[in-house]
Structure 1
Amino acid sequence: MATTTPSSFSLPQRVLHWLTAALVFFNLLFPDGMNAWNRSIKQTGAATADQVASANIHAYAGIAVLVLVALRLLLRLVHGVPEAPPQEPALLRLAAKIAEGTLYLLLVAMPVTGMAAYYLGYEGAGDLHADVLKAILWVVVAAHVLGALAHQFYWKTNVLRRMTVG
């Protein structure tokens, strides 16, 4: 595994980060296909081909997130990650580590609960996925973005740069 601490994220880490972000935002902002499928299944026990196709797009994006997160975690082990800048207060460094761990946990739990609901029919998993975990994910993503912006504009660190251009 990584023996030295890198100064920025590797190109594969950056690409996977932004692909993951795009897919997460896609599924958070456009869950309509899955919602229509779910409503139809609950009301009539069946769904149209268009509803199934739309739900599949949502499901496949979620599965892709799960695969990308697994690759990201593997790359973290192999390449390592940059250390937090010293300008960041210790308490906020701890909060960032907790938020990062929570984000990774959610990026695994969301697809798993979604698959359990969609493919295995576990309604409780669907409720957890669409109601509880989704709300928590929005909060953690917002904190992640705000933290990156605070680094860029308040502490004037290179945190945003090392996840964009390296």
Structure 2
Amino acid sequence: MPARSAYSVPQRLLHWLVALLVFFNLLFPDGMNAWRHLVHRGQTPSPGDIASANIHAYAGIAVLLLAIVRLAVRFSSDAPEKPNGQPAFLHHIAHVTHVLLYVLIFAMPVSGIAAYYLGVDTAGSVHGGLMKMLLWIVVVLHIFGALVQHFYFRSDVLRRMTIGESNSRKSA
């Protein structure tokens, strides 16, 4: 059976849905931050503060659920071959980056749930501090790596995760 040339439609949809929700929560945490500060000061959050915090929480829970589905799809279907023409250490960096992304995509919602629903302050501090910073770093590395593969190495990795087409399919 020949290797797949692109990611499946479910793999691509799950990738981009998770990415969208992660970016949403990274870029718009204000509602959760406002709720947290009010609660820590002993003040009562307004219905708007609670609604805004809930949106952040629900997006995080959606990330967790979609990540579970994504892993199930990933383990039940093949992924395309690694791109050719790149140094082996880049494949290693890509693998480590993907592992870190998955760890953080699971750890962020779990720590957020522990903080928001269970009142674990330490989880909230780590969630909004160290883990958030690490997630930003890993996301930027992931994007940078995809762009380097696309523009410098001229691989089809980015095409396989966006439009689902590889260069080998186009040339065939």
Q: What is the count of residue pairs matched by the alignment?
A: 164
2:96 equivalent to 1:102: no
Contact 2:150/2:158, CA 8 A, preserved across alignment: yes
1:6 CA displacement: 2.1
1:86 CA displacement: 1.7
Contact 1:24/1:62, CA 8 A, preserved across alignment: yes
Determine the structure 2 residue equivalent to 1:8: 6
1:78 CA displacement: 1.1
Determine the structure 1 residue equivalent to 2:60: 62
> Taking structure 2 as the reference length, what is the TM-score of the superposition?
0.92
AA at the equivalent of 2:162: T
Deviations 1:31-60 (A, max 9, x none): 000000000001124311111100000000
CA gap 1:72/1:5 in 2 versus in 1, 3 angstroms: farther
Deviations 1:115-160 (A, max 9, x none): 0000000000001100000000000000000000001100001000
Unaligned runs of 5+ in 2: 165-172
Deviations 1:87-110 (A, max 9, x none): 221011001101100000000000
Contact 1:6/1:79, CA 8 A, preserved across alignment: no
1:23 CA displacement: 0.4
Any idea what SS the aligned residue of 2:162 has?
Answer: coil
Provide the C-alpha distance between the structure 2 equivalents of 1:128 and 1:154, rounded to a whole number of angstroms: 36
Equivalences for 1:9-88 in 2 at 5 Å?
9-88=7-86
Any idea what SS the aligned residue of 1:163 has?
Answer: helix
Provide the C-alpha distance between the structure 2 equivalents of 1:8 and 1:30, rounded to a whole number of angstroms: 32
Contact 1:33/1:54, CA 8 A, preserved across alignment: yes
Unaligned runs of 5+ in 1: none
User: 1:140 is matched with which residue: 108, 124, 138?
Assistant: 138
Contact 2:61/2:109, CA 8 A, preserved across alignment: yes
Provide the C-alpha distance between the structure 2 equivalents of 1:8 and 1:63, rounded to a whole number of angstroms: 28
